[in-house]
């Protein structure tokens, strides 16, 4: 059995932003009983013993956890490479210095657009100026810096200027990832999914930027999978390389897998090793045995692993079907319809986006 390389630690789902493509669960009331510092410390030790080398500290907004500095220090002592994925809201110079001293390796800061007013509108709160200050702070402290941008219909045409901003801020990497349609983004899909013409223009700009910035800035660009011929190899295969731990200790093969009707696995009841190796949740879609046709006999079955289980469930109601993104899937028409609507339907405006709200009161 493969051992996991990376663990996404979703420390809390509390977040100051209201992004309309939020990937956190819709129902947050299940996650109020967050793991304690001691519980996370045990999880980190077990993760290292299981083979995890990279720790992605995320949320929600991980800076809202008061023990973040302590957890970073513990992770570094275990030899983990520590990566903070943040909105940067709350990253004061003092906290940044404390994280640096604790050994934090790498910082990824989101931004919603290159233009302040649009970025603030998408984030649902005034945040652009603070983010820019945080990018500068991260560089001043000598960290490698990644700019994270979720792309969609309302900022994709600005991709050139977004790249210019990343260059100006001396980002080492930029992740330009088109929205994936789960959770809140699913609710907003019609208003978020870009047109083919937008994607073609963006791709050309990215190609030119890659040539211009080679050796200076790494550019990761992810197209919306609705427009690909083959599905994405989600998480590098179910229970194969990565795992996610949610704020309340649930362990998932992929951050969206809480949507699937599968038995829970939690660090409050089992060791991480048992969950990875033995739990029905992690065994359910591991390998190729579970696959239906056309995946089962396909020579790409160990390239894309049948695509994304959560997407199959989202679109067909059955997580064990081929990801409908695949052009060979019998359900591919569902995806074609959505793509057709994005290209021929009435032009959807930014005002159609429903901002992320937090219905359950957060403590």
Partner 1 sequence: MSTGILSTNRPHLARQVRLEWDPVRERQVLLAPEGVLVLNQTGADILGLCDGERTVADIVEELRGQYNRVDSDEVHDFLARLVAKRWVELGDE
- Among 217, 140, 138, which Cα is nearest to 174's? 217
112 binds partner 1 (CB under 8 A): no
211 binds partner 1 (CB under 8 A): no
Cβ nearer to partner 1, comparing 272 with 291: 272
Q: Which residue among 12, 112, 146, 311 contacts partner 1 (CB under 8 A)?
A: 146
Interacting residues with partner 1 between 34 and 53 (CB under 8 A): 48-51, 53
Please give the Cα distance from 286 to 94 (Å, whole number).
Answer: 44
**103-111, 131-139, 247-255, 259-267 -> range binding partner 1 (CB under 8 A):** 103-111
Cβ nearer to partner 1, comparing 196 with 216: 216
* Least Cβ distance, residue 251 to partner 1 (angstroms): 18
Cβ nearer to partner 1, comparing 123 with 171: 171
Pairing between strand 106-110 and 173-178? unpaired
Cβ nearer to partner 1, comparing 48 with 158: 48
* Least Cβ distance, residue 173 to partner 1 (angstroms): 6
CB atoms within 10 A of CB 28: 18
Q: Which residue among 42, 100, 173, 300 contacts partner 1 (CB under 8 A)?
A: 173
* Least Cβ distance, residue 142 to partner 1 (angstroms): 7
Q: Which residue among 81, 227, 274, 358 contacts partner 1 (CB under 8 A)?
A: 81
Give the long-range contacts of residues 42-49, CB within 8 A, separation 24 or more.
42/267, 43/9, 43/245, 43/249, 43/267, 43/272, 44/71, 44/74, 44/75, 44/78, 44/80, 45/78, 46/267, 46/271, 46/272, 46/273, 47/4, 47/7, 47/80, 47/272, 48/78, 48/79, 48/80, 49/273
- Among 90, 10, 12, which Cα is nearest to 57's? 10
290 binds partner 1 (CB under 8 A): no
Cβ nearer to partner 1, comparing 177 with 190: 177
Please give the Cα distance from 268 to 271 (Å, whole number).
Answer: 8
Q: Which residue among 106, 154, 321, 356 contacts partner 1 (CB under 8 A)?
A: 106
Task: Show the tokens assigned to 360.
Answer: 């359950």
Alpha carbon of 42 to those of 73, 255, 270, 272: distances in Å?
Answer: 14, 20, 12, 10
Cβ nearer to partner 1, comparing 173 with 264: 173
Count of residues touching partner 1 (by CB under 8 A): 22
177 binds partner 1 (CB under 8 A): no
Please give the Cα distance from 285 to 301 (Å, whole number).
Answer: 12
Task: Point out which residues bind partner 1 (CB under 8 A).
Answer: 3, 5-6, 48-51, 53-54, 79, 81, 83, 105-106, 108, 142, 144, 146, 172-173, 215, 218
């Amino acid at each position: 059995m493969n051992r996991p390389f990376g663990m996404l630690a979703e420390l809390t789902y509390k977040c100051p932003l209201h992004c309309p493509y939020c990937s956190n669960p819709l129902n947050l009331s299940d996650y109020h009983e967050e793991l304690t510092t001691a519980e996370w410390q045990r999880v980190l030790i077990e993760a290292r013993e299981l083979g995890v080398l990279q720790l992605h500290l995320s949320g929600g907004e991980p800076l809202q956890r008061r023990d973040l500095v302590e957890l970073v220090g513990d992770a570094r002592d275990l030899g983990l490479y520590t990566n903070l994925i943040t909105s940067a809201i709350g990253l004061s110079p003092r906290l940044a210095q404390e994280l640096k001293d604790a050994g934090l390796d790498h910082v990824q800061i989101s931004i919603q657009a290159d233009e302040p007013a649009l970025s603030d509108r998408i984030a649902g709160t005034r945040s652009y100026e603070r983010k820019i200050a945080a990018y500068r702070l991260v560089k001043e402290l000598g960290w490698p810096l990644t700019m994270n941008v979720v792309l969609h219909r309302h900022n994709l045409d600005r991709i050139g200027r977004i790249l210019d901003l990343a260059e100006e801020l001396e980002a080492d990497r930029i992740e330009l990832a088109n929205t994936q349609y789960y959770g809140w983004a699913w609710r907003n899909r019609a208003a978020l999914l870009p047109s083919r013409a937008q994607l073609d223009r963006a791709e050309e700009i990215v190609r030119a930027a890659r040539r211009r910035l080679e050796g200076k800035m790494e550019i990761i660009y992810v197209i919306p999978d609705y427009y690909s011929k083959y599905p994405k190899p989600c998480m590098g295969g179910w229970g194969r390389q990565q795992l996610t731990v949610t704020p309340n200790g649930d362990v998932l093969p992929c951050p969206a897998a809480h949507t699937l009707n599968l038995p829970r696995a939690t660090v409050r009841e089992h060791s991480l090793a048992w969950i990875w190796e033995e739990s029905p949740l992690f065994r359910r879609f591991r390998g190729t045995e579970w696959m239906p046709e056309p995946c089962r006999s396909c020579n790409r079955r160990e390239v894309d692993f049948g695509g994304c289980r959560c997407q199959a469930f989202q679109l067909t109601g059955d997580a064990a079907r081929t990801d409908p993104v695949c052009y060979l899937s019998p359900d591919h028409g569902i995806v074609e319809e959505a793509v057709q609507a994005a290209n021929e339907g009435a032009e959807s405006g930014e005002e159609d986006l429903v901002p992320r709200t937090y219905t359950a009161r957060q403590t």
